[in-house]
Structure 1
């Protein structure tokens, strides 16, 4: 399997392995995730890039979290997450970005663009997300695989998402709490997959 796009990510933003991906889980997800992702897991394990800006993840670690947001009928497979807890996921084919703070999953392209996503979409040096990560990194220091930068208070509780409100938090505990609060705060009738339903005449 040609992993040139992953190698570009590593060359431009560095890489560090923090865990192995269990072989039985790679077998479980064969046919559900791109072959390139299976090859990354097999050859490199679970890695971080860009001084912790992006982390490749074990989907099993996020099953309960995405169910807390979207229920069991939307079985997102989370394959990466950012330092601020944005989740990169697959749902029955298409790619999604899950924005936990507003309990929203934004649909992207289909799986054919996965290699390009890896090389140039996971970390964009000109993006607001990259700038936010760099600011938090300078102010709060690096994070581990069990940590993320989180807003305290979270947006659903009136937070403004500023650097002054950003803290290093435990990723799974924080996202579970965000799921509990944010899903209660979203407006009635809001579709968590990113569109509003058409109102009846």
Structure 2
């Protein structure tokens, strides 16, 4: 195992709620997603880490989420994307077939910050290693709410997330009292329908 994924496991492990990835799924994404990710799937499956703070997912299962959020945006004209991971609160990690780690969306806030990856083409596998190696718990823990949410609501299953009810786009507040366990795919699709995606671009240097 490479040192980047080993570091990720040391920080986020152990894995739980592991789902076996069938060879058909691996072949479906052969040539679309880096071989490095496919090898992680084969060895570790799709599963939760850090007690459910972070999840690797079946991109096909999350196609409705991808379509809801970026299906009608210029992003889909620039590249073919696949959702490869998410956080407990709806931080969505998209991987572009040509652009790699170039798009993330925070669904509860309906915003994204596009970025340019230097690790494309023949460097895709290394880019995938760095993706996992650079992940942090803090970046996935919205407002430090994960530990209290876990204590109050219990550990998530692979098809669940913590969602604000009512949603922030409907005037809900981002407090522990308003968090509930919700079905991940359904809730993420709903959030996409409540507010337009705000694309935040970095100011020029």
User: Who is 1:98 aligned against?
Assistant: 105
CA apart distance, 1:130: 7.5
User: Who is 1:18 aligned against?
Assistant: 18
Matched, 1:78 2:83: yes
CA apart distance, 1:193: 4.3
Structure number with the bigger relative contact order (C-alpha 8 A, sep ≥ 6) is 2
CA apart distance, 1:169: 0.8
Deviations 1:76-115 (A, max 9, x none): 2011110011111112323221111233332235244431
For residues 4 and 33 of structure 2, the distance between their equivalents in structure 1, rounded to whole angstroms, comes to 16
Equivalent in 174, 180, 187 of residue 161 of structure 1: 174
Instruction: Say which SS state the counterpart of residue 169 (structure 1) adopts.
Output: strand
Q: Which runs of 4+ in 1 moved over 4 A?
A: 125-128
For residues 140 and 44 of structure 2, the distance between their equivalents in structure 1, rounded to whole angstroms, comes to 26
How many residue pairs are counted as aligned between the two chains? Answer: 187
Instruction: Say which SS state the counterpart of residue 156 (structure 1) adopts.
Output: helix
Matched, 1:143 2:148: no
Any unmatched runs of 5+ in structure 2? Answer: 120-125
Does the CA contact (< 8 Å) of 1:5 and 1:115 recur in 2?
Answer: yes
Does the CA contact (< 8 Å) of 1:124 and 1:130 recur in 2?
Answer: no
Matched, 1:30 2:47: no
User: Who is 1:120 aligned against?
Assistant: 134
For residues 169 and 147 of structure 1, the distance between their equivalents in structure 2, rounded to whole angstroms, comes to 6
State how 1:45-56 maps to structure 2 within 5 Å. 45-56=45-56
CA apart distance, 1:24: 1.9
Any unmatched runs of 5+ in structure 1? Answer: 187-191, 197-201
Please, what TM-score do these two structures have when normalized by structure 2?
A: 0.80
For residues 107 and 179 of structure 2, the distance between their equivalents in structure 1, rounded to whole angstroms, comes to 15
Q: What's the Cα RMSD here?
A: 2.4
CA apart distance, 1:30: 2.0
Please, what TM-score do these two structures have when normalized by structure 1?
A: 0.82
